[in-house]
Structure 1
């Protein structure tokens, strides 16, 4: 009887969450804000605890899911009806690259480091910060990217030009620290890096937020 009860409660909880997701809309899945994340955790906890608590019946599971779903629905309605509440409940997008320059203070506010930013950019098929004119950290944790105008020109295939070898940009300095592995893999040393930094009026790697190197090009440096 106990196993049958767990089976019934599991199916009931699954159906409730499935219906609730359909009612609340696809944005609950594709655009997870901080509030949506908390809502998902609580809903899962409600159903999970109900499965293993013998004193909790199906009616109580349904009631708890209904109340929490109603709270989520009302919150979504408030954010749509009153624009001022959106920043509080959903947060605001922040510009992290402006006119090709990293906005360090905005990155700190968003708890975003260089490695995380590079990962997000690669998901947008951007492998070098030099290619980015603007980047915005969205409320769901993704990044929207506007490439520089030179990167938006027709491809070599469009112009019937001969393909050339593509070099991958290597991070040599991240958050003021030298990435030694990348430096060695490029066949470079600390002396070369210091000279390149001095050419751009930097006395030390500690003064640099980010620096990358691509064969055949000058060292690209971003200050704090």
Structure 2
């Protein structure tokens, strides 16, 4: 038992050193910047090392040779992605414009398998609580959202210009993916007739034509069309 314990400790130390060296050779990324392929590679590498250490029939040579082969494969992939841009996009993913000219691109949302609620969550993580503030939204390969705000929402702010501060209001979602959120509408003090009139003023005859709509007390209603081609109605 003691011999096996000592042997396991030796394997752990060697495995730790080997992983450290491989990490230094391949290069490091922040966890928030890790690409899907790198994430899978890290899981596989950890699994290989774990199985090698705790399998009694596996020796140190197997551990080192397995890690070496995997490191070589990773280096080959890294060189190929640096040389061929198309392969880089396939393995690491490409940025996707999910908000373009202030409009949500539903096709890009579906392509990236995220819904409107997830998009709103990503915006809130960027301290943006209303879609109307965003001119462009780019979903990066690592799943993070980069945004470019509309000019009226960028610096300088009211304090920079010594202007009087105004109350801040939280936007309320009224229509989500073509469905009216009746509780939100009622809690905002409005009824169906009011919503229909507001949509007609925006050029929409039916709720089903609307992908997303929100109400903000100081700026009114903001409507995102279901079909991006009808944005200039």
Q: What TM-score comes out, normalization by structure 1 length?
A: 0.88
Quote the Cα distance in structure 1 between the aligned partners of 2:155 and 2:181: 32
SS at match of 2:220: coil
Residue 197 of structure 1, CA deviation: 2.5
Residue 185 of structure 1, CA deviation: 4.0
CA 1:68–1:196: 2 relative to 1, 3 Å: same
CA 1:12–1:120: 2 relative to 1, 3 Å: farther
| 1:55-74 equivalences in 2 (<5 Å) | 55-74=57-76
Quote the Cα distance in structure 2 between the aligned partners of 1:170 and 1:56: 60
CA 1:20–1:191: 2 relative to 1, 3 Å: farther
Quote the Cα distance in structure 1 between the aligned partners of 2:182 and 2:9: 55
| 1:26-41 equivalences in 2 (<5 Å) | 26-27=28-29, 29-41=31-43
**Aligned partner of 2:213 among 199, 211, 214:** 211
2:13 is aligned to 11
Larger gyration radius, structure 1 or structure 2 = 2
Question: Greater shift after overlay, 164-173 or 6-15?
Answer: 6-15
| 1:1-224 equivalences in 2 (<5 Å) | 1=2, 2-27=4-29, 29-224=31-226
1:8-51 C-alpha deviation (Å, 9 max, x unpaired):
33333333333322322233745222211211121121122223
Quote the Cα distance in structure 2 between the aligned partners of 1:35 and 1:127: 32
CA RMSD of aligned residues (A): 2.2
SS at match of 1:173: strand
CA 1:179–1:73: 2 relative to 1, 3 Å: farther
Question: Greater shift after overlay, 135-144 or 83-92?
Answer: 83-92
Question: Greater shift after overlay, 74-83 or 181-190?
Answer: 181-190
Quote the Cα distance in structure 1 between the aligned partners of 2:116 and 2:161: 35
Question: Greater shift after overlay, 136-145 or 192-201?
Answer: 192-201
Residue 150 of structure 1, CA deviation: 1.3
Q: How many residues align?
A: 224
SS at match of 1:212: strand
Residue 222 of structure 1, CA deviation: 0.7
Question: Greater shift after overlay, 168-177 or 25-34?
Answer: 25-34
Quote the Cα distance in structure 1 between the aligned partners of 2:198 and 2:149: 26
Quote the Cα distance in structure 2 between the aligned partners of 1:59 and 1:192: 75
1:60-113 C-alpha deviation (Å, 9 max, x unpaired):
122212211221111111111222322222222121111111111111111121
